Amino acid sequence: MPAKKTSKKAKKSVKKKAPSKKKPGKKASSGKKTVKKAKKEKKKSDKAKKVTTTKKEIKPEVEIKGKYIYYFGDGIAEGRGNMKDLLGGKGAGLAEMTNTGVPVPPGFTITTDVCKLFYENNMELPKSFEEEMRKYIAKLEKSAGMGFGNKNNPLLVSVRSGAKFSMPGMMDTVLNLGLNDETLQGLIKKTDNERFAYDSYRRFVQMFGNVVLGIDKSEFEEILEKRKKKQRIAMDTELTVDDLKYIIKKFKALILEKTGEEFPQDPLNQLVAARDAVFKSWNNPRAITYRHLNDIPSGLGTAVNIQTMVFGNMGDNSATGVGFTRNPSTGGKEFYGEYLSNAQGEDVVAGIRTPRHISNLAKEMPRVHKQLKDITTKLEKHYRDVQDFEFTIQEGRLYLLQTRTGKRTTAAAVKIAVDMVKEGLIDKGEALLRVEPEHLEHLLHPAIDPSAAVNVIAKGLAASPGAASGQAVFTADDAVRFSDAGNDVILVRQETNPDDIHGMNAARGILTARGGMTSHAAVVARGMGKCCVAGAEDIRVYGVDKKMIVGGAVIKEGDYITLNGTTGEVMLGQVPTIAPQLSGEFATFMKWADEIRRLRIRTNADTPDDARQAVAFGAEGIGLCRTEHMFFAPDRIPIVQEMILATDEIARREALDKLLPFQKNDFKAIFVAMDGRPVTIRTIDPPLHEFLPDKNETLKELEGLRERKAWEDEIAEKEKVLQRIDELHEFNPMLGHRGCRLGITYPEITEMQARAIFTAACEVARGRKAKAPVVEVMIPLVGIVDELKNQREIIDRVAEEVMKKHKVEIQYLVGTMIEVPRGAITADEIAGVAEFFSFGTNDLTQMTFGYSRDDAAKFLKVYINKEILTKDPFVTLDTSGVGDLIRIAVTKGRKIRHDIKLGICGEHGGDPDSIRFCHEVDLDYVSASPFRIPIARLAAAQAVLGETEYTQK
């Protein structure tokens, strides 16, 4: 984020530093910085941003063409609800609500195109735009019957961000703009409510000082809290007029100290500065982090919404709140929300006061409650989706300030999608598009074991379901630090704010002492699928001391606590968990996905337990069973090492004969678990040195033997191991003696594995525990057709021998992994021998890019931050480079063998974007890890729907 500096004070306008030309997705500084670095630099600067009054002339003047501002008010809006690209989600929602007759305070939206222009023009806007904006201010004045800057009848406005995709709390907002020392007096006379006017001014000075001038919000909070402590009051609403006057005076002194300037009094200069601050907030660290986490393009920019203020802080007949048309945590069809009387909107989401449930509004203001419920029900039917709305009640009159598609937990998303199909609001295809495939993983997370003994120390609101144990940390930065060190953490805060986004992402769960079900912590946690307990008011959080106290318990940084986000309980220590119980709606939802998808879904599984879990999640076979993983068991590794240390074939065969029963029993258990579903077994792939001990450890052991004067035979045996480690050492083992190269060098290894596979298959076929196995033997790392011919001859010979011996016919195929670029390019030759291809995209990506997947992490984050790569190619398939090799292999393979079976078994098999590509190139199946099977099933269905009239909402 660029350092935001200002010049010395002048009289009329706002002067801004002009950095180098950048697009809205780029930070306007010298080089792109990481979020962490940007935050560090911000802390280093003691100088805050300054508002001045000398506007720098733009030369040459940029010409503005087209429409850049859209008005809404008086029942008519220039924009529409389908204009999110231009108006952002908030602006489009305000326009649509206005056009449908919902009571919305008038205003206007400055489009995302202006944001792009702002960045392209060195963070300046041309005079012609400023003139156009003044015309819309005049239009707003006429509609409201008030004057912007009029000291007798002042018009006050809010300035809010609004990107195409919802980014709750990530960008900036300024309320009550237009207040100054003169208009304050006019507001007092107009409303006959001195406390309300001073409270509004206090809020405006504080927000402007933080958002526009860059002064840390904690410095304002410190002044506020000190005054409350001195007056012995707990709530902001208890502050008197004299208290507010004192606080405003202190706020202004703080601004003068930090910026060298008085608080700006010209409302138009205030508006320009606030508007530009909102544009700049598109590239603040938390917004950048949120976009990275949610895969939101950086070039979209944000709109700015300038809207007539309505006030929820005018007394007990005024209020402000947020709500959902259905429960965003469970998906239940209930009117759901929270509100605060005599407050402004920021109070609700910031968690400064714990709000009341919206059902209480029916008792306090029954007419308004009914009107609000009627309007929001109408909005849900209009948009055909759950609505997240904001409202203000000013002296008994209701206004809607926002409606947008509501963020919800994955469990709620599935239930709502299924319920809305039953209600006739949407069809099955649209329901499937309402849930992000990646989010299904949230449903598979553990829950608290009901039989476990627990020590509940506090209870808050069940803000986001699930269970999590971890070490308590009290800052977002510490959450990242602990997590990077491999520790599970629970982020504990008095209340979270948008700057905590990186720590929330690193944490397993989030606990706050203040805030409600619609607080920042709750909304963001639900969006992330994180367990969250909010508003646990019995807890006292001491962030500076890195501890919390509840009752007689003191929990310090590093102590373990457990959260139950489904019940709101906070427990001491680590509590056991159990596998989740999936709902009936989930089964219905996944059944719909299975009806639509074309791709078959298999799993990567090496054990019977993995296989059974995958089948429970809907796997239709095993696409990759790694035989070498079975070698690492404690009772087998000595035999494997005996085989590796053997100096001749006879000794190797003796060791392999000992391994054969283990392998056979492994395969039998997997065949039984799969019950007749196809099982693809890969012959040994890694280099042999991986099965030997570490060289340094072996040297230490040898030195110890010599020091103890152990038996010569024992020393000689250890020296033999060390010698073999040196013999097998490779400078680049990933390109070395592995895969089919091992089977060709040591054919007895392939022979043993084939014998174990087919013996297991025959025994299962003759038994009654499961259906006859469908076997697919896969030879890895083939780049030359003769490599496959060599290995296939062994497999076919052994299969024939075993089936003849057991008098059983087993259905089997022999194929290869396409993971060497030459294998893809010569796929037509290989298809003459192979009956199936399985694309091993981990190695194919590694060899195509020339990146070592074990070392690439050192630079891939830099590449992504600098936008050299948009995504990690080991996570999401590179469709242009690696993808072209796959296309070549598919085309050439099918040309020679039209019925060749084609699949993918790398980690990409569980990535939704990669699955879409697999659908497009007409593969037959994808194979993913067990817990990603539901993700793959939904992604495969969405790939089909993407080719139809449906579009992602």
- Burial (0-12, 13-18, 19+ Cβ within 10 Å), 647: exposed
Q: CA of 251: how far to CAs of 4, 215, 217, 219, 346, in Å? A: 20, 11, 11, 9, 18
Among candidate residues 531, 740, 905, 918, the one labeled active-site is: 905
Q: Which residues of 670-691 are buried (b: 16+ CB within 10 A; e: fewer)?
A: bbbbbebbbbbbbbbbbbbbeb
First to last CA, the chain: 31
Q: Is 583 left (phi over 0), alpha (psi -120 to 50) or beta?
A: beta
Q: Which pair of structure tokens corresponds to residue 881? A: 């480079």
Q: Is 740 a catalytic residue?
A: no
Q: Are 159 and 176 in contact (CB under 8 A)?
A: no
Query: What single string gives the DSSP state of each residue in 15-34?
Result: -----S---TTS-SSSS---
> How far, in Å, CA of 651 to CA of 326, rounded?
70
User: What is the DSSP code (8-state) at residue 55?
Assistant: P
> How far, in Å, CA of 257 to CA of 263, rounded?
11
Among candidate residues 439, 442, 445, 520, the one labeled active-site is: 520
Q: Which pair of structure tokens corresponds to residue 396? A: 């008994």
Q: Are 631 and 637 in contact (CB under 8 A)?
A: yes
The bridge status of strand 836-839 relative to strand 489-493 is unpaired
Q: Provide CB contacts within 8 A for 694, sequence distance 6+.
A: none
Q: Which pair of structure tokens corresponds to residue 179? A: 């207040």
Q: CA of 584: how far to CAs of 233, 581, 591, 708, 939, in Å? A: 50, 10, 11, 65, 20
Q: Which pair of structure tokens corresponds to residue 861? A: 């984050």
Cis (ω within 30 of 0) for the bond into 60?
A: yes
Q: Is 502 a catalytic residue?
A: no
Short-list 928, 626, 882, 883, CA closest to 778: 626
Three-state helix/strand/coil letters over 174-223: EEEECCCHHHHHHHHHHHCCHHHHHHHHHHHHHHHHHHCCCCCHHHHHHH
Rounded to the nearest 5 percent, the helix, strand and coil shares of the chain are: 45, 15, 35
**How wide is the angle at C-alpha 405 spanned by C-alphas 309 and 363, nearest 5°?**
60
Distance from CA of residue 276 to its chain's centroid? 28
User: What is the DSSP code (8-state) at residue 440?
Assistant: G
- Burial (0-12, 13-18, 19+ Cβ within 10 Å), 537: middle
User: What is the DSSP code (8-state) at residue 774?
Assistant: E
Q: Residue 867: how many CB atoms within 10 A of its CB? A: 12
Side-by-side strand order, sheet with 553-556: 540-542, 547-550, 553-556
> How far, in Å, CA of 487 to CA of 481, rounded?
9
The phi, psi pair for 357, rounded to 5°, reads: -65, 145
Helix axes 747-766, 649-674, angle to 10 degrees: 30
> How far, in Å, CA of 732 to CA of 726, rounded?
14
Distance from CA of residue 297 to its chain's centroid? 14
What are the catalytic residues? 520, 905
